[in-house]
């Protein structure tokens, strides 16, 4: 039966979602989501669970809800010691994605609360979005679209600047699930695939994807496209800075659908302004949303999207299936899947 009812809760401006029998387990969703996503989640909430969705990003609202939370579902909401202290019943912190830099894992460990990720539903969307950004940059999609809307018809002027993906070298920094799916799609465009990862892929994977492991510097020198698919850690923060950008060919483009802080943004702004590289496609920024004065907003050779690479309806349904299944495992006394160690 469809569970579309959304009711306000007397103690908070948060919303109960779906059929809400008394008792059982309460899931607090720490992200304000629109009605259409709440309806999807409502259809998928398992029997015996209740879903309470915050109405805003007000930290105090989330803190007020935590005493009744058995499970916490987050995407970007900060999870720290203060929040955990307010949640004596909490059994699991479930991130709906894979980048968990907003979660204090050490604090969760001290409180004996596992943290789990949701790789399901992330891979395909990010891989497709990566290819979208590459093609849009190579064919100057934003520029020609704007020109046509202004009444122009630049049928000749862009030809000397537009290039094809076929025959180019795509360099992937990070060759996990997403990097490999990007390689699979890029290879269909008749590209050469090189990658750099701290852990080399098994030989059968390299053979299947036609991918060659190289040093990071060699990748930067060789690639026409440098695409980032690494997690944000102390070691990877700012991994693409002035030195790395100067290693790239002047016709190359940088793609980042991972985490904004992997890139030194001031160095990137300078690289774009002085044409060390040809362009950048960014789904992530250091500060999200950016300040109005962020110079990347006015760079003509940049395409910006609002951290939506994994944000499709298909991905959301897949994620909610996986999220709720993991919570059911924990409710049965089992260990969650995809736990952060």
What is the model's pTM? 0.86
For 291, phi then psi, to 5°, come to -65, 150
What is the Cα–Cα distance from 170 to 4, expressed in whole angstroms?
45
Catalytic residue among 259, 270, 317, 321: 259
What is the Cα–Cα distance from 45 to 43, expressed in whole angstroms?
6
Residues 136-144: contacts with CB under 8 Å, at least 24 apart: 136/281, 136/303, 137/253, 137/278, 137/279, 137/280, 137/281, 137/301, 137/303, 138/162, 138/163, 138/164, 138/165, 138/253, 141/303, 142/303, 143/300
Q: What does the DSSP assignment read for 222-248? A: H-SEEEE-----TTTTT-B-HHHHHHS
Distances (CA, A) of 43 to 19, 130, 282: 9, 30, 33
Q: Which fold has domain 6-121+312-331?
A: Rossmann fold (3.40.50)
Q: What is the CATH number of domain 123-304?
A: 3.40.50.720
What pLDDT was estimated at residue 208?
Answer: 98
Question: Is 196 known to be catalytic?
Answer: no
| Residue-by-residue pLDDT tens, the chain, 341 positions | 344 443 444 445 566 555 544 458 999 999 999 999 999 999 999 999 999 999 999 999 999 999 999 999 999 999 999 999 999 999 999 999 988 989 999 999 999 999 999 999 989 999 999 999 999 999 999 999 999 999 999 999 999 999 999 999 999 999 999 999 999 999 999 999 999 999 999 999 999 999 999 999 999 999 999 999 999 999 999 999 999 999 999 999 999 999 999 999 999 999 999 999 999 999 999 999 999 999 999 999 999 999 999 999 999 999 999 999 999 999 999 999 999 98
What pLDDT was estimated at residue 7?
Answer: 45
Whether 6-121+312-331 shares its CATH topology with 123-304 is answered yes
For 53, phi then psi, to 5°, come to -105, 130
Catalytic residue among 152, 275, 288, 334: 288
Question: Is 307 known to be catalytic?
Answer: yes
Spatial CA neighbour of 166 closest among 195, 140, 186, 190: 190
What is the Cα–Cα distance from 280 to 232, expressed in whole angstroms?
19
What pLDDT was estimated at residue 15?
Answer: 61
Q: What does the DSSP assignment read for 169-186? A: EEEEE--SHHHHHHHHHH
Question: Is 243 known to be catalytic?
Answer: no
Distances (CA, A) of 239 to 13, 100, 229, 235: 41, 18, 12, 8
What pLDDT was estimated at residue 18?
Answer: 54
What pLDDT was estimated at residue 182?
Answer: 98
Domain extent listing, the chain: 6-121+312-331, 123-304
Catalytic residue among 307, 313, 329, 332: 307
């Amino acid at each position: 039966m469809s569970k579309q009812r959304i009711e306000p809760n007397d103690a908070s401006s948060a919303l109960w979602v779906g059929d809400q029998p008394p008792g059982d387990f309460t899931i607090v969703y720490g992200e304000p989501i629109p009605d259409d996503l709440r309806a999807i989640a409502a259809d998928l909430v398992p029997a015996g669970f209740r879903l309470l969705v915050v109405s805003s990003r007000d930290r105090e609202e989330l803190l007020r809800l935590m005493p009744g939370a058995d499970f916490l579902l987050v995407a970007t909401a900060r999870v720290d010691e203060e929040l955990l202290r307010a949640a004596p019943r909490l059994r699991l912190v479930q991130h709906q994605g894979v980048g968990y830099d907003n979660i204090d894992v050490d604090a969760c460990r001290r409180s004996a609360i596992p943290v789990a990720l949701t790789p399901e539903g992330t891979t395909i969307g990010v891989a497709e979005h990566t290819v979208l950004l590459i093609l849009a940059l190579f064919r100057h999609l934003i520029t020609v679209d704007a020109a046509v809307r202004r009444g122009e018809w630049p049928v000749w002027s862009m030809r000397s600047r537009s290039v094809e993906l076929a025959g180019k070298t795509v360099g992937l920094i990070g060759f996990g699930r997403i990097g490999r799916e990007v390689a699979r799609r890029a290879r269909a465009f008749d590209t050469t695939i090189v990658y750099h990862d701290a852990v080399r892929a098994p030989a059968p994977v390299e053979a299947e994807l036609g991918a060659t492991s190289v040093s990071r510097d060699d990748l930067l020198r060789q690639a026409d496209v440098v695409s980032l698919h690494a997690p944000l850690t102390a070691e990877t923060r700012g991994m693409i800075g002035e030195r790395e950008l100067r290693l790239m060919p002047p016709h190359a483009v940088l793609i980042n659908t991972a985490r904004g802080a992997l890139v030194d943004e001031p160095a990137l702004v300078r690289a774009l302004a002085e044409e060390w590289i040809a362009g950048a496609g960014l789904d992530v920024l250091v500060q999200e949303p950016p300040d109005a004065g962020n110079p990347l907003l006015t760079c003509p050779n940049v395409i910006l999207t609002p951290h939506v690479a994994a944000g499709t309806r298909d991905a959301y349904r897949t994620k909610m299936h996986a999220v709720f299944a993991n919570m059911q495992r924990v409710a049965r006394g089992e260990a969650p899947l995809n736990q952060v160690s």
